[in-house]
Amino acid sequence: MLYRLLGASKLSVSAISFGCMSLKDERDAARVIDHAVEAGINFFDTADLYEKGLNEEWVGRILRSRREEVLLATKVGNQWRADGSGWDWNPRKDYILRAAEDSLKRLRTDRIDLYQLHGGTLADDIDETIEAFELLQQQGKIRYYGLSSIRPNVIREYVERSRIISVMMQYSLLDRRPEENCLELLEAAGIGVLVRGALGKGLLAGKPAVGYLDHGPDVVRRAAEAVRSVAGMARSSANVAVGYVLSHPAVASAVVGIGTDGQLEDVLRGGVRGLEDEEMKQLRAVAPADQYGEFR
Protein backbone atom coordinates (compact mmCIF):
# COMPACT_ATOMS: atom_id res chain seq x y z
CA MET A 1 0.00 0.00 0.00
CA LEU A 2 1.12 3.54 -0.77
CA TYR A 3 0.78 6.14 2.02
CA ARG A 4 0.70 9.92 1.77
CA LEU A 5 0.55 12.72 4.32
CA LEU A 6 -2.84 14.41 4.34
CA GLY A 7 -2.13 18.07 3.68
CA ALA A 8 -0.02 19.72 6.36
CA SER A 9 -1.11 17.20 9.00
CA LYS A 10 0.75 14.29 10.56
CA LEU A 11 -1.86 11.84 9.25
CA SER A 12 -0.29 9.30 6.91
CA VAL A 13 -3.24 7.94 4.95
CA SER A 14 -3.44 4.97 2.63
CA ALA A 15 -3.77 6.04 -1.01
CA ILE A 16 -6.94 3.96 -1.19
CA SER A 17 -9.28 4.65 1.70
CA PHE A 18 -12.39 2.81 2.82
CA GLY A 19 -15.67 4.62 2.21
CA CYS A 20 -18.03 3.10 4.78
CA MET A 21 -21.31 4.34 3.31
CA SER A 22 -21.60 1.18 1.18
CA LEU A 23 -21.74 -1.11 4.22
CA LYS A 24 -25.19 -2.64 4.64
CA ASP A 25 -24.74 -5.49 7.14
CA GLU A 26 -22.54 -5.50 10.25
CA ARG A 27 -21.37 -9.10 9.92
CA ASP A 28 -20.31 -8.61 6.29
CA ALA A 29 -18.83 -5.24 7.21
CA ALA A 30 -16.64 -6.81 9.89
CA ARG A 31 -15.20 -9.30 7.42
CA VAL A 32 -14.43 -6.85 4.62
CA ILE A 33 -13.05 -4.20 6.99
CA ASP A 34 -10.73 -6.79 8.51
CA HIS A 35 -9.52 -7.74 5.03
CA ALA A 36 -9.02 -4.06 4.17
CA VAL A 37 -6.84 -3.47 7.22
CA GLU A 38 -4.79 -6.55 6.36
CA ALA A 39 -4.34 -5.12 2.84
CA GLY A 40 -2.90 -1.91 4.30
CA ILE A 41 -5.92 0.40 4.22
CA ASN A 42 -5.77 2.57 7.33
CA PHE A 43 -8.25 5.40 6.64
CA PHE A 44 -11.97 4.79 7.22
CA ASP A 45 -14.51 7.46 6.34
CA THR A 46 -18.07 7.50 7.66
CA ALA A 47 -20.66 10.16 8.63
CA ASP A 48 -23.30 10.63 11.29
CA LEU A 49 -25.80 10.91 8.42
CA TYR A 50 -25.29 7.34 7.21
CA GLU A 51 -28.03 5.01 8.48
CA LYS A 52 -28.89 7.63 11.13
CA GLY A 53 -25.65 6.96 12.98
CA LEU A 54 -25.77 3.18 12.71
CA ASN A 55 -22.88 3.20 10.25
CA GLU A 56 -20.70 4.92 12.85
CA GLU A 57 -21.75 2.33 15.43
CA TRP A 58 -20.71 -0.54 13.16
CA VAL A 59 -17.37 1.05 12.36
CA GLY A 60 -16.75 1.77 16.03
CA ARG A 61 -17.47 -1.78 17.17
CA ILE A 62 -15.56 -3.42 14.33
CA LEU A 63 -12.43 -1.30 14.66
CA ARG A 64 -12.37 -0.91 18.44
CA SER A 65 -9.68 -3.57 18.92
CA ARG A 66 -7.59 -2.10 16.08
CA ARG A 67 -8.07 1.56 16.96
CA GLU A 68 -4.36 2.36 17.09
CA GLU A 69 -3.84 0.88 13.61
CA VAL A 70 -6.39 3.04 11.83
CA LEU A 71 -7.53 6.62 11.25
CA LEU A 72 -11.22 7.41 11.74
CA ALA A 73 -12.92 10.19 9.80
CA THR A 74 -16.53 11.22 10.10
CA LYS A 75 -18.72 14.16 9.09
CA VAL A 76 -21.23 16.57 10.60
CA GLY A 77 -23.75 19.16 9.47
CA ASN A 78 -26.80 17.20 8.38
CA GLN A 79 -29.23 16.90 11.28
CA TRP A 80 -31.88 14.21 11.20
CA ARG A 81 -35.39 15.41 11.98
CA ALA A 82 -37.02 14.02 15.11
CA ASP A 83 -39.59 12.09 13.06
CA GLY A 84 -36.89 10.52 10.87
CA SER A 85 -38.45 11.92 7.68
CA GLY A 86 -35.22 13.48 6.45
CA TRP A 87 -32.51 15.87 7.49
CA ASP A 88 -31.83 19.59 7.53
CA TRP A 89 -28.58 21.50 7.10
CA ASN A 90 -27.24 22.71 10.44
CA PRO A 91 -23.70 24.14 10.59
CA ARG A 92 -24.23 25.99 13.88
CA LYS A 93 -21.63 25.78 16.62
CA ASP A 94 -23.90 24.36 19.33
CA TYR A 95 -25.10 21.57 17.06
CA ILE A 96 -21.61 20.63 15.88
CA LEU A 97 -20.38 20.38 19.47
CA ARG A 98 -23.29 18.11 20.45
CA ALA A 99 -22.97 16.00 17.32
CA ALA A 100 -19.26 15.45 17.93
CA GLU A 101 -20.01 13.99 21.36
CA ASP A 102 -22.57 11.63 19.81
CA SER A 103 -20.13 10.53 17.10
CA LEU A 104 -17.39 9.86 19.67
CA LYS A 105 -19.76 7.58 21.58
CA ARG A 106 -20.90 5.71 18.48
CA LEU A 107 -17.34 5.31 17.23
CA ARG A 108 -16.20 4.14 20.70
CA THR A 109 -13.18 6.37 20.68
CA ASP A 110 -11.82 9.35 22.60
CA ARG A 111 -10.84 11.30 19.50
CA ILE A 112 -11.81 11.65 15.85
CA ASP A 113 -8.77 11.82 13.57
CA LEU A 114 -10.52 13.92 10.91
CA TYR A 115 -13.84 15.70 11.49
CA GLN A 116 -15.37 17.07 8.31
CA LEU A 117 -18.12 19.57 7.60
CA HIS A 118 -20.54 17.60 5.43
CA GLY A 119 -21.44 20.33 2.94
CA GLY A 120 -21.53 24.10 3.32
CA THR A 121 -23.01 27.21 1.71
CA LEU A 122 -22.06 30.89 1.54
CA ALA A 123 -25.21 31.64 3.56
CA ASP A 124 -23.70 29.87 6.60
CA ASP A 125 -22.06 31.76 9.44
CA ILE A 126 -18.71 30.28 8.42
CA ASP A 127 -16.75 31.86 11.27
CA GLU A 128 -19.13 30.30 13.82
CA THR A 129 -18.71 26.91 12.16
CA ILE A 130 -14.93 27.25 12.24
CA GLU A 131 -15.10 28.21 15.94
CA ALA A 132 -16.79 24.88 16.68
CA PHE A 133 -14.07 22.86 14.97
CA GLU A 134 -11.30 24.90 16.57
CA LEU A 135 -12.81 24.36 20.03
CA LEU A 136 -13.14 20.62 19.49
CA GLN A 137 -9.51 20.53 18.40
CA GLN A 138 -8.41 22.47 21.49
CA GLN A 139 -10.35 20.02 23.66
CA GLY A 140 -8.56 17.08 22.05
CA LYS A 141 -11.81 15.55 20.78
CA ILE A 142 -10.70 15.86 17.17
CA ARG A 143 -7.16 15.86 15.81
CA TYR A 144 -7.84 17.76 12.60
CA TYR A 145 -10.81 19.10 10.68
CA GLY A 146 -11.67 19.35 7.01
CA LEU A 147 -14.39 20.09 4.50
CA SER A 148 -16.48 17.80 2.32
CA SER A 149 -17.82 19.93 -0.53
CA ILE A 150 -18.15 20.16 -4.29
CA ARG A 151 -18.68 23.94 -4.27
CA PRO A 152 -15.60 25.96 -5.31
CA ASN A 153 -16.93 29.16 -3.74
CA VAL A 154 -17.32 27.43 -0.36
CA ILE A 155 -13.95 25.72 -0.65
CA ARG A 156 -12.24 29.08 -1.27
CA GLU A 157 -13.80 30.58 1.86
CA TYR A 158 -12.51 27.77 4.06
CA VAL A 159 -9.07 27.87 2.46
CA GLU A 160 -8.84 31.57 3.30
CA ARG A 161 -10.48 31.57 6.73
CA SER A 162 -9.80 28.23 8.43
CA ARG A 163 -7.11 25.70 9.24
CA ILE A 164 -8.65 22.80 7.33
CA ILE A 165 -6.15 20.13 6.36
CA SER A 166 -8.31 18.43 3.73
CA VAL A 167 -11.15 18.78 1.26
CA MET A 168 -13.18 15.80 0.13
CA MET A 169 -14.55 16.35 -3.35
CA GLN A 170 -16.00 14.46 -6.27
CA TYR A 171 -13.39 13.84 -8.97
CA SER A 172 -12.97 11.25 -11.71
CA LEU A 173 -12.24 10.84 -15.39
CA LEU A 174 -15.95 11.60 -15.92
CA ASP A 175 -15.91 14.60 -13.60
CA ARG A 176 -12.81 16.63 -14.32
CA ARG A 177 -14.26 19.89 -12.98
CA PRO A 178 -11.75 20.08 -10.06
CA GLU A 179 -8.93 20.24 -12.62
CA GLU A 180 -10.11 23.70 -13.67
CA ASN A 181 -8.81 25.41 -10.52
CA CYS A 182 -9.73 23.61 -7.27
CA LEU A 183 -6.92 21.07 -7.26
CA GLU A 184 -4.29 23.69 -8.04
CA LEU A 185 -5.64 25.98 -5.30
CA LEU A 186 -5.58 23.25 -2.67
CA GLU A 187 -2.15 22.00 -3.64
CA ALA A 188 -0.74 25.52 -3.35
CA ALA A 189 -2.38 25.93 0.07
CA GLY A 190 -0.96 22.64 1.35
CA ILE A 191 -4.42 21.15 1.81
CA GLY A 192 -4.87 17.48 0.98
CA VAL A 193 -7.58 16.24 -1.35
CA LEU A 194 -9.69 13.20 -0.54
CA VAL A 195 -11.45 12.04 -3.68
CA ARG A 196 -14.87 10.46 -3.73
CA GLY A 197 -16.61 9.19 -6.84
CA ALA A 198 -13.45 8.06 -8.61
CA LEU A 199 -15.39 5.23 -10.27
CA GLY A 200 -18.08 7.57 -11.61
CA LYS A 201 -20.92 5.67 -9.87
CA GLY A 202 -19.42 2.44 -11.21
CA LEU A 203 -19.65 3.57 -14.84
CA LEU A 204 -15.86 3.33 -15.17
CA ALA A 205 -15.82 -0.10 -13.55
CA GLY A 206 -18.29 -2.15 -15.54
CA LYS A 207 -21.78 -0.69 -15.10
CA PRO A 208 -23.78 -0.13 -18.32
CA ALA A 209 -23.20 3.30 -19.85
CA VAL A 210 -25.73 6.03 -19.11
CA GLY A 211 -25.45 9.80 -19.12
CA TYR A 212 -23.30 11.29 -16.35
CA LEU A 213 -23.23 15.01 -15.55
CA ASP A 214 -22.90 16.73 -18.96
CA HIS A 215 -21.57 13.59 -20.67
CA GLY A 216 -23.92 11.56 -22.82
CA PRO A 217 -23.91 7.73 -22.84
CA ASP A 218 -21.53 7.64 -25.84
CA VAL A 219 -18.85 9.61 -24.03
CA VAL A 220 -19.29 7.46 -20.91
CA ARG A 221 -18.99 4.32 -23.03
CA ARG A 222 -15.81 5.53 -24.72
CA ALA A 223 -14.32 6.50 -21.36
CA ALA A 224 -15.08 3.08 -19.89
CA GLU A 225 -13.57 1.39 -22.95
CA ALA A 226 -10.41 3.49 -22.63
CA VAL A 227 -10.12 2.56 -18.97
CA ARG A 228 -10.45 -1.14 -19.85
CA SER A 229 -7.79 -0.73 -22.53
CA VAL A 230 -5.33 0.84 -20.09
CA ALA A 231 -6.11 -1.85 -17.52
CA GLY A 232 -5.29 -4.72 -19.87
CA MET A 233 -4.96 -8.09 -18.17
CA ALA A 234 -2.91 -7.01 -15.15
CA ARG A 235 -5.22 -4.41 -13.64
CA SER A 236 -8.93 -3.93 -13.15
CA SER A 237 -10.93 -1.04 -14.55
CA ALA A 238 -11.65 0.09 -10.98
CA ASN A 239 -7.94 0.14 -10.24
CA VAL A 240 -7.19 2.27 -13.30
CA ALA A 241 -10.05 4.68 -12.55
CA VAL A 242 -8.61 5.18 -9.07
CA GLY A 243 -5.12 5.48 -10.54
CA TYR A 244 -6.34 8.39 -12.66
CA VAL A 245 -7.21 10.54 -9.62
CA LEU A 246 -4.16 9.39 -7.64
CA SER A 247 -1.98 10.74 -10.44
CA HIS A 248 -2.75 14.33 -9.50
CA PRO A 249 -0.21 15.64 -6.95
CA ALA A 250 -2.93 17.35 -4.90
CA VAL A 251 -4.69 14.07 -4.18
CA ALA A 252 -3.77 12.24 -0.99
CA SER A 253 -6.26 9.40 -1.17
CA ALA A 254 -9.21 8.01 -3.11
CA VAL A 255 -12.07 7.16 -0.77
CA VAL A 256 -13.73 4.20 -2.43
CA GLY A 257 -17.10 2.84 -1.38
CA ILE A 258 -16.40 -0.78 -0.48
CA GLY A 259 -19.16 -3.15 0.58
CA THR A 260 -17.86 -6.59 -0.40
CA ASP A 261 -14.62 -8.56 -0.58
CA GLY A 262 -14.99 -8.62 -4.36
CA GLN A 263 -15.07 -4.82 -4.55
CA LEU A 264 -12.02 -4.62 -2.31
CA GLU A 265 -10.09 -7.12 -4.43
CA ASP A 266 -11.16 -5.37 -7.63
CA VAL A 267 -9.90 -1.92 -6.65
CA LEU A 268 -6.59 -3.33 -5.35
CA ARG A 269 -5.88 -5.58 -8.36
CA GLY A 270 -2.74 -4.38 -10.09
CA GLY A 271 -1.33 -2.50 -7.11
CA VAL A 272 -1.81 1.03 -5.85
CA ARG A 273 -0.21 3.69 -8.03
CA GLY A 274 -0.87 6.53 -10.40
CA LEU A 275 -0.79 6.22 -14.17
CA GLU A 276 1.95 6.83 -16.69
CA ASP A 277 1.86 10.06 -18.72
CA GLU A 278 0.83 8.21 -21.89
CA GLU A 279 -1.97 6.43 -20.06
CA MET A 280 -3.26 9.73 -18.70
CA LYS A 281 -3.13 11.25 -22.18
CA GLN A 282 -5.06 8.31 -23.60
CA LEU A 283 -7.81 8.65 -21.00
CA ARG A 284 -8.14 12.43 -21.18
CA ALA A 285 -8.55 12.27 -24.95
CA VAL A 286 -11.90 10.48 -24.61
CA ALA A 287 -13.35 12.45 -21.69
CA PRO A 288 -12.99 16.19 -22.24
CA ALA A 289 -12.44 18.49 -19.28
CA ASP A 290 -15.58 20.13 -17.95
CA GLN A 291 -16.23 23.15 -15.74
CA TYR A 292 -18.39 24.01 -12.78
CA GLY A 293 -21.63 25.82 -13.58
CA GLU A 294 -23.13 26.77 -10.22
CA PHE A 295 -21.17 27.76 -7.10
CA ARG A 296 -18.12 28.96 -9.01
CATH number for 13: 3.20.20.100
- Which is the catalytic residue, given 50, 145, 212, 244? 50
Q: Is 95 a catalytic residue?
A: no
Entry pTM: 0.96
What was the pLDDT predicted at 85?
87
E-state strands within the chain: 3-5, 12-14, 16-19, 43-45, 71-76, 78-80, 87-89, 112-118, 142-148, 166-170, 192-196, 251-257
What was the pLDDT predicted at 74?
98
pLDDT per residue over 247-260, tens digit each?
999 999 999 999 99
Residue 12 lies in a domain: yes
Q: How many domains does the chain have?
A: 1
What was the pLDDT predicted at 83?
86
Residue 290 lies in a domain: no
Distance from the first to the final alpha carbon of the chain: 35
What was the pLDDT predicted at 82?
84
What was the pLDDT predicted at 76?
97
Residue 203 lies in a domain: yes
Q: Quote the radius of gyration of the chain (alpha carbons, Å).
A: 18
Residue 187 lies in a domain: yes
Residue 291 lies in a domain: no
What was the pLDDT predicted at 181?
86
245 touches 172 (CB < 8 A): yes
Domain that holds residue 122: 3-284
- CA distance readout (Å), 217 to 90, 99, 224, 237, 275: 37, 41, 10, 18, 25
What was the pLDDT predicted at 204?
97
Residue 98 lies in a domain: yes
Residue 153 lies in a domain: yes
Residue 294 lies in a domain: no
Low-confidence ranges of the chain (pLDDT < 70): none
What was the pLDDT predicted at 293?
80
- CA distance readout (Å), 16 to 4, 242, 257: 10, 8, 10
